[in-house]
Amino acid sequence: MLGGGQLGRFFVLAAHEMGYKVVVLDPDRNSPAGKAADEHLCAAYDDMQALERLAQTCAAVTTEFENVPADTLDHLSKFIPTRPNAACVSIAQNRIAEKTFLSDRGFSVGPFAAIRSAADIEAADPSLFPAVLKVARFGYDGKGQARVANVAEAKAAFESFKREACVLEKMLTLDIEVSVVLARDAAGRIAPFPVAENSHRNGILDVTIAPARISGALAAEATEMASGIAAELGYVGVLGVEFFISGGRLMVNEMAPRPHNSGHYTIDACVTDQFEQQVRILCGLPLGDARQHSRAVMVNLLGDLWYSQDAHHAHEPDWSRLFRHPGLKLHLYQKHHARPGRKMGHFTVLGESGDPVIDTAMDARLAIGIRDD
């Protein structure tokens, strides 16, 4: 496993339950996945000695975040199966490459322009404004993004991003945001999970409702589009595809070449979760049943909660407030220290019908100290 965050940790736990041993490569000695793994290589992702150890020790390799160097994946693929491959990851690493790949193949995306210089901003279609300027690489959870009302603001934001390549995306009026997480094996078989409905705070996923409260036709279209993207990529692994719905129209926002935060509900609400699927694909096993057996609402727990009573000192939240709900499952990521905006865990509320599950999740969210400012 390349990467040591919570997604890697869930993969390690799933692999262990299925009888496999896992080596994690991550430069952070306190990485959550590294702590759970059979072996933690605490080294950089381009450390050749560590990569040689992986190639000699492991039967296959995967990743848990898209910013692992594509060259690392490419190098390892010469010795062992690498899923997903470097080509897929390199497309998802760069917003310009990603948007271009999607639009060139006829997938619906919102209006955008590639920005590599200030001149590109001046030449952009005026109808793009107001817009969001996003750095092309290494931006996630709202980082490396700025809302811009006009050319002048876009130029200022571009300068603040040190003139890194960016995409300028038209700010859309959204009906709702949804995502599809799917598993695709080496034979091209696809097992999609139900479409999830997502809401964000400060660019970070806050709440996921599954299944999404959209029409069956729209859900089918989202699933078909995500499956089509995976097929066009020749993707092997677990893929997350985020969509905007604006004016009733579905548009791809971005894709993640790995399990996805909005797919965490599958751990408790589906026959096979996204991490077991990742293990199955990596090991050449048949795909598991992706059927959802319970309605679910997932709520992210950010480091801000640890500072809700004292801005200068972290205090563990009172989890007993959550455990009062018998249909609630808590997952903490064993991160070394809390900080605002950092994903520290999540909880999922399960039930048989939608509204009571949503109400319980919102009550639990408030009880633990999450307030809509």
**Bind-site residues:** 95, 134, 139-145, 169-172, 177, 200, 253-254
d(CA 152, CA 165): 17
Helical axes 6-17 vs 274-282, angle rounded to 10°: 70
Among residues 46, 54, 52, the alpha carbon closest in space to that of 21 is found at 54
DSSP one-letter code for 63: B
Torsion of CA 131, 137, 142, 146, to 10 degrees: -30
Order the strands of the 112-115 sheet from edge to edge: 112-115, 166-170, 131-135, 145-148
Q: With 0-12 CB in 10 A as exposed, 13-18 as middle and 19+ as buried, what is 63?
A: buried
Which residues carry a binding-site annotation for ATP?
Answer: 95, 134, 139-145, 169-172, 177, 200, 253-254
Contact 252, 243 (CB under 8 A): yes
Gap between the Cα atoms of 322 and 332, Å rounded: 13
| Residue at 62: amino acid letter | T
Q: Contact 167/194 with Cβ under 8 angstroms?
A: no
Tell me the residue type at 137: R
Q: CA–CA separation, 278 vs 272, rounded Å?
A: 10
Contact 305, 366 (CB under 8 A): no
Q: What angle do CA 216, 98, 61 make, to 5 degrees?
A: 90
The encoded tokens of residue 160 equal 């603040």
Compute the distance between CA of residue 156 and CA of residue 170 in angstroms, rounded to an integer. Answer: 17
Long-range contacts of 26-30 (CB under 8 A, 24+ apart): 26/2, 28/4, 30/335, 30/336
Q: Alpha-carbon distance 137 to 162, whole Å?
A: 13
Q: Considering only CA atoms, which of 268, 273, 296 is closest in space to residue 353? A: 296
Which token pair is 93?
């690493």
